Amino acid sequence: MVVTNKWLAYAEFALSDRRNLFSEYVAETSPGNALANIITSQVDTERQRLRLQSSVGLSYTSDTDISTHLEYHHS
């Protein structure tokens, strides 16, 4: 959404069905890794959840074409 010629406001949203990053790492490590085996026995690495990721931002471009951005991300 363009506010003026110099200002720009935007928002992004993503919805996915996946494991969290820690569980993905543990699930992808080598089966011979002793630490991975201990963690896998203690943590549910197979469970998937619906995840919402979003970001909103504001951008300003000066007369000399220098851009400044302010962004907020939420997972």
How many domains is the chain partitioned into structurally?
1
Residue 2 lies in a domain: no
Measuring CA to CA, which residue among 27, 30, 49 is closest to residue 40? Answer: 27
pLDDT, tens digit (0-9, with 9 covering 90-100), for 21-51:
776 776 676 566 677 666 666 655 556 677 7
H-helix segments, 1-75: 21-28, 34-42
Residue 36 falls inside a structural domain: yes
Q: Is residue 1 part of a domain?
A: no
Q: Is the pLDDT of residue 69 over 80?
A: yes
Element (H, E) at 11: strand 7-18
39 near 22, Cβ under 8 Å? no
68, part of any domain: yes
Residue 40 sits in which domain range? 7-74
